[in-house]
Structure 1
Amino acid sequence: MDSLPTIFLSHGAPDLPIRDGAVSDFLRSLHQQFPKPKAILVISAHWHSDPPMVSAATHPRTIYDFSGFPSQLYELSFPALGSSELSDRVVTLLTQAGIPCETHPTRGFDHGAWTPLLLAYPAADIPVTQLSMQYYRDPLHHWQIGKALEPLRHDGVLIIGSGSATHNMYAFGESYNAEPPDWVRVFDQWLAQNIAEGNQEALLQYRQRAPYAKENHPTDEHLMPLFVAMGAGGAKGKQLHSSYIYGVFSMAAYAFTS
């Protein structure tokens, strides 16, 4: 099959699957934009380990790694099968690139993985596995992980980095449809422009070069999946979606194809 793009998705708050709006509509149409993948590898902002770990679970459980949301959210599940074949390949590719990697026998799907996938691939008929991030490593490290994984997308594997284009929990509002403040819009526009232009150096140095970087990302983990997607697909990307929820969460999504 033809090579697939890599994708960066902003997964927003855990209540995404029970909300209606622009981002939910976008995710429901995502499977129509690309050929059906043979398998999906998700790099979620909500799994940290050092060294990297990839799930080898055959029947990954749905993890409810949140609290305080409506009870109906805890009744949802994403019953996709795992893929030991994919997890073994990830270990091989990273090891060959000089990046130690281990398997985790039971790791399930955290909400960074299952909440967007439940909307995008509701049939859950594609094998899915997760790869962890390293919270204390820089964008270049995550870009290098993506670069090592690039062969996967030429073999029908959809690589998804799931994080958030902007993510400041300290400024989290109660209104789902709140308008974003200027400091969110300005950073989001900077990110979109540099991705459209393929400015890899600027993006890798976003912490020093982007306006309002600290305000939008007090910690780095929700932007690191972007760099994995960039590494595997190339720095120049196409914006697939743009909207905001809760005022401070940009739900921007991008596709990368070198």
Structure 2
Amino acid sequence: MSSPLTQNVDVPSNQAEWRAALESLPSTPQKIPAFFFAHGSPALAHAQAPAKLRASEHSGFKQYRGPNGPLAEFLKDFGPTLLQKYSPRAIVVFSAYWETLDERLVTDYGEENPLLMDYYGFPPDLYQLKFKSRGDKQLAEKLVTLYKEAGQLARTTSKLEPRGSDGRGFEGPGLDHGVLIPFRLMFGEEFDLPVVQVSIDSSMSPEANWKLGQVVKVLREENVLVLAGGLPIHNLQDFGSFTPDTAKPIYHSFHKAILDALQISNAQERKKALLDLPRHPGFRACNPREEHFVPLYVASGAAEDENVKILNGLYGIPTVAFGV
């Protein structure tokens, strides 16, 4: 039985249900919701898993998280819905794969965003993937101003400044695979809208990352779509954790705890429950490090006093709308 604080709602667990949830999103371009979404892995773009997975007994990974699995199918429905419902002028995205301490970095990449294929051990063609998009100098500079006004250090970064290395052994700038991989499925290989990426806070503090979302809340009323990508169950030491059929009970328990927290109708109680999730007995097993989990707090902070809608509640790959 659900708590009196929780909403009595169904959690979408198949394509028909998530399509109904997406269709039911209010069309409010004057105030776009913020979204936490499961960004997946490079396996979404290739039927052949990396060697570490091929050698494992967890063959269900490909079926669940590969190019024909439910996450790929959801993302193909998710992206077009966002464009249809909200007609955004730009996207601001936070990814688990870009973190900085004490200073926010904001991409200002000009006419074409470079790509940082920061993944290893995949077939050569995965390093030829394409996603063409552009930056937005005005939006990047506004983000820097917003963070500075909130008392945080912030600056833009250009194509001339490397932010990491990729699986080909090159250092460079670019949108990381937490953006490249899902956005190709969501929006196609050529995308007309500007995309600006902001780093998450590498302190991994739930409160610090919540504040990152609070800062960009205003952009939702300026026709800007705010997306934060991660995977709330991300244990590379136990590949069985990535699929429901092989995941241990402790992983399922934590997944349920996330959904339960999100379904609390009172905003303050929901915030408390979300911030308490790192104390759950399964949290550390699901997140040996928190970088894939804290983007949930960024999206939460961008709509902290508003209603929440779970769009996809499938094990380990949820997507949630904040501010509906």
Task: Tell me which amino acid in the other structure corresponds to 1:14.
Answer: P
CA distance in 1, matches of 2:314, 2:286: 15
Task: Tell me which amino acid in the other structure corresponds to 1:77.
Answer: K
Partner of 1:254: 320
1:32 is aligned to 2:95:
no
CA contact (8 A) 2:108 2:156 kept: yes
1:103 is aligned to 2:156:
yes
| Structure 1: gaps spanning 5 or more residues | 245-249
Q: Are residues 65 and 178 of structure 1, via their aligned partners in 2, closer, same or farther at CA, if it must alter by over 3 Å?
A: farther
CA distance in 1, matches of 2:186, 2:148: 31
Identity %: 30
CA distance in 2, matches of 1:176, 1:200: 28
- 1:99-178 aligned within 5 A: 99-106=152-159, 107-122=173-188, 123-173=190-240, 178=245
Partner of 1:6: 34
Task: Tell me which amino acid in the other structure corresponds to 1:68.
Answer: G
Task: Tell me which amino acid in the other structure corresponds to 1:2.
Answer: Q
CA contact (8 A) 1:23 1:241 kept: no
Task: Tell me which amino acid in the other structure corresponds to 1:251.
Answer: I
Q: Is the partner of 1:169 in helix, strand or coil?
A: coil
CA distance in 2, matches of 1:193, 1:202: 9
CA distance in 2, matches of 1:182, 1:129: 38
Give RMSD over aligned pairs. 1.9
Shift of 1:136: 1.7
CA contact (8 A) 2:240 2:246 kept: no
| Structure 2: gaps spanning 5 or more residues | 1-28, 47-66, 160-172
Instruction: Identify which range, 126-135 or 229-238, moves more after superposition.
Output: 229-238
Name segments (4+ residues, structure 1) moved above 6 Å. 174-177
Shift of 1:156: 1.0
The CA deviation string for residues 201-258 of structure 1, in whole angstroms up to 9 with x for no partner, is: 12113212x23011111111111111110011226421111334xxxxx111111006
Shift of 1:32: 1.7
Instruction: Identify which range, 182-191 or 231-240, moves more after superposition.
Output: 231-240
Aligned with 1:47 (options 87, 90, 98): 98
CA distance in 2, matches of 1:173, 1:205: 25
1:22 is aligned to 2:70:
yes
Aligned length: 252
Q: Are residues 231 and 77 of structure 1, via their aligned partners in 2, closer, same or farther at CA, if it must alter by over 3 Å?
A: same
Task: Tell me which amino acid in the other structure corresponds to 2:114.
Answer: R
